[in-house]
Amino acid sequence: MDKPGPTNFIEQIISHDLEAKLTDRVVTRFPPEPNGYLHIGHAKSICLNFGLAEQFGGVCNLRFDDTNPDKESDEFVQAIIEDIRWLGFQWHGEVRFASDYFEQLYLWAVELITAGKAYVCELSPEQTREYRGTLTEPGKNSPYRDRAIDESVSLLKQMRDGGIEEGCMVLRAKIDMASPNMNMRDPVLYRVKLGGHHRTGNQWHIYPSYDFAHGQEDAIEGISHSICTLEFADHRPLYEWFIENLPVPSSPRQFEFGRLNLNYTVTSKRKLKQLVDEQHVDGWDDPRLPTLSGLRRRGVSPAAVRAFCDSLAVAKTDGMVDMAQFDHFIRQDLNENAPRAMCVLDPIKVTLTNWPDDEQVVLPAANHPNRDDMGERQLPFGQTLYIDRADFTEDTSLSRKKFKRLVLGDYVRLRGAYVIKADGAVHDDAGQVVEIMATVVPNTLGENPPAEMKPRGVIHWVAAHDCLSCDVQLYDRLFNDPEPDAGDKNFLESINPDSSVLISGCKGEASLMSAEPGTTYQFEREGYFCLDARHSNAEHVVFNRTISLRDNWANK
């Protein structure tokens, strides 16, 4: 084991099971439904299931719960596979699907009927709800509960063959309509779906419920520890009932842990789909979404996601995690690993009047201030530069403490280059500064100037003759409410109108011309940014802001 000992209750259970010889090999599984893209909540489950298997020398299966063809597609299957690989995990053997086991599940359903433990019911959905009872009142038996075994077997076959319309019949387990656990009140095992399946086409016209399929699939695969989130705790008795009442090849056990709830976002697949379908966001991989594809497009590294998930408690209760905790791991990872670059978001021209107009040099700059292994890049330098408009003022009354940038008549150092002095400014007809006239202080490349020329501070810049024109997309939190979907709130009303701001006409240093998707840079003094693979091409380059340098939400 990598860890000195078990630290959470699931690790303690597994350690006990191994020591007591209740299992000789840990086999876990991650069972997503391919009806949407994975999000940060799924990442916690992925890290837990794959991590436990690795920790205890076992294996983890990837199995798609493709039992609801109306909402599922191969697009989602491929996206989920890509996300898991991106996180750095490898499943055991081939990718598995619930549909791989449809024939066996059907045969087991027939066995339940034959044993008098299941029946075909013709109550309408409304009648089924009425017969089911309430949390305080028991349900009552369906009039079809004592249907002849041969008749139920025959009707199930008709359902399978497509001879029954949707909604007319279901197969139900015969358990206990008076059970205090609503899941045990004759749950549905099969329902008719005639629209076809993304893998099996029109081979099947009935599909098993998740409750019926899940445990048996675990048993077929020899899963030792079936780990679910807390909403499945009430389903565990049903999970165990099927295992006990069917001739399954093994006896997996289910355990539940608290799911990840993150403030300032939503992780409901239904709500995420609504955001996508109604075009409130730019697809499932919108960088403002908590989807793994969105985080990847935003420039978050898999290492940051895994470190965040590993920091979370594995507990028996749900809890809310502050987005700032996730942001901390993103910033920590990028501060240590992101190469540096300079990009001017609101450029204004600076002309160095004492620099020869035909002289262009290249200045070396470290790719990371603390990582010699990351090497150097080359910064072109010439007579004309761009600096950020916010880094210059004509207000000479501002003290050095209040404004540590370029002031008319004063000095500032260009990052990795010379000290310059602002001598004058050119204005347009509206009085706005359009050009700064400045001079280079000689012998200040890597050297300090005389005391009377001490610079106010250090600013970033790019050379006008050799730079990248680009757009920058400033992404922020999608919602301005920490609990956008709590209670009866309409989460759409909490969308942050400033969650996506496009800045055009930015100027990046020349090294950014070779930027590739997957590499996130620290734009010095601006934040962390990555190339947007979807919207960038040879003629138009867009960088997405991954995260700001500091938490701007701390005092909101």
Chain centroid offset of residue 518 CA? 15
How far apart are alpha carbons 77 and 85 in whole angstroms? 13
Fill in the amino acid letter for 296: R
269 is catalytic: yes
d(CA 547, CA 368): 18
Q: Of these residues, 145, 259, 271, 415, which one is catalytic?
A: 259
**Cα 305 from Cα 1, distance rounded (Å):** 22
Q: CA–CA separation, 543 vs 526, rounded Å?
A: 12
Q: Are 216 and 238 in contact (CB under 8 A)?
A: no
Active site residue 33: yes
For residues 316 and 227, the answer to whether their CB atoms sit within 8 Å is no
Which amino acid is it at 308?
A: F
Q: Let me know if 63 is a catalytic residue.
A: no
Spatial distance between the Cα atoms of 35 and 273, rounded to a whole number of angstroms: 9
- Which regions of 135-288 does DSSP assign to beta strands (E)? 170-173, 188-192, 206-208, 225-229, 253-257, 260-262
Q: Where are the alpha helices (DSSP H) in 259-345?
A: 269-277, 292-298, 302-311, 323-337
Name residue 380's amino acid.
P
Residues 6+ apart with CB under 8 A from 321: 260, 261, 262, 263, 312
| Residue of 29, 172, 236, 269 marked catalytic | 269
Neighbours of 39 (CB within 10 A): 25
The count of residues in the chain is 556
Cβ 321 vs Cβ 260: under 8 Å:
yes
Rounded Cα distance between 464 and 63, Å, is 54
Strands (E), 136-219: 170-173, 188-192, 206-208
Q: Is 442 exposed, middle or buried (0-12, 13-18, 19+ CB in 10 A)?
A: exposed
* Calpha distance 534→98 (Å, rounded): 33
Residues contacting 164, CB < 8 A, separation 6+: 155, 158, 192, 205
Q: Which of 33, 122, 394, 435 is catalytic?
A: 33
Residues with active-site annotation: 33, 259, 269
